[in-house]
Amino acid sequence: MKRKHFLGILLAAGLSMTFGYCHWNKPKEIISVEPAYSPLPSNQLLGVFDERLCTYQSEAPNARYAILVDYDRPIQQERLWVLDLNTNEVILTSKTSHAANSDDGNGYATTFSNVPSSNISSLGMFKTGDTYHGQWGYSLRLHGLEPGINDKALERYIVIHSYEVCPIYSLGCIVTSPETNRQLIELTKGGSLLYIHWSARDF
């Protein structure tokens, strides 16, 4: 079934996500489709995400929502999810950007950096900050939580913002459609965790 990329509300039957205790019972829907493409995050990725949430949960004043981005998937696929950790739902799924300088020529992000002016995507765990209206409209600042990996995100102006054509290559920002962007920001502003994953790199 075709799913709208700006609002994929999926009731994951059997999924139990308790943020404070870091325990997930992975839904059967996820297990049954692997390794084929699914609009849901993979069972393996959810396990990694759970570990990251455990490590950084104290950094999240907005603990209800968390954002997961999977750079193992190409830019053409849905690979961003917002999870409601209270109601056990994936409440938003979307396509999203990566930096043009991160791309391997086939739509996959394979190069990452924390260096200012590199125009390369960063990986790891971030925390959302405050909102502002800038060149790309309504935007959300990001704070990198991993020293040497993404802690220069604020200095690099790595933010969440929209663009009328999505997916699109960025300079390192998380870009979604205007419809997705506003909902994404309203749900997660002010201290939600954002984890950007790439399985070839071990954190």
- Concatenating the DSSP letter of every residue in the chain gives ----TT---EE-TT-EEETTTTEEE--HHHHHHTTS--SSPPHHHHHHHHHHHHHHGGG-SS-SEEEEEETTS-TTS--EEEEETTTTEEEEEE----BGGGB-SSS-B------TT------EEEEEEEEEEETTEEEEEEEE-STTTTTTTTTTT-EEEE-SSSS--BSS-EEE-HHHHHHHHHHHTTT-EEEEE-TTS--
Taking residue 199's Cβ as centre, other Cβ atoms within 10 Å add up to: 12
Q: How many residues does the chain have?
A: 203
Q: Determine the pLDDT at residue 29.
A: 34
Position 99 pLDDT exceeds 70: yes
Q: What is the CATH number of domain 10-197?
A: 2.40.440.10
Q: Please state, in angstroms and rounded to a whole number, the distance separating the CA atoms of residues 70 and 80.
A: 7
3-state SS record for 180-200: HHHHHHHHHCCCCEEEEECCC
Q: Determine the pLDDT at residue 60.
A: 93
Tokens at 126, concatenated: 């971030």
Q: Please state, in angstroms and rounded to a whole number, the distance separating the CA atoms of residues 17 and 77.
A: 25
Query: How much is the pTM?
Result: 0.82
Q: Determine the pLDDT at residue 37.
A: 66
Phi, psi of 82 (to 5 degrees): -105, 125
pLDDT in tens, 144-202: 999 999 999 999 999 999 998 888 899 999 999 999 999 999 999 999 999 999 998 75
What is the mean predicted confidence (pLDDT) over 123-146? 97
pLDDT in tens, 25-84: 333 332 323 345 678 898 889 999 999 999 999 999 999 999 999 999 999 999 999 999
Position 88 pLDDT exceeds 80: no
More confident residue, 23 or 45: 45
Q: Is the CB of residue 29 less than 8 Å from the CB of residue 21? A: no
What is the mean predicted confidence (pLDDT) over 14-24? 38
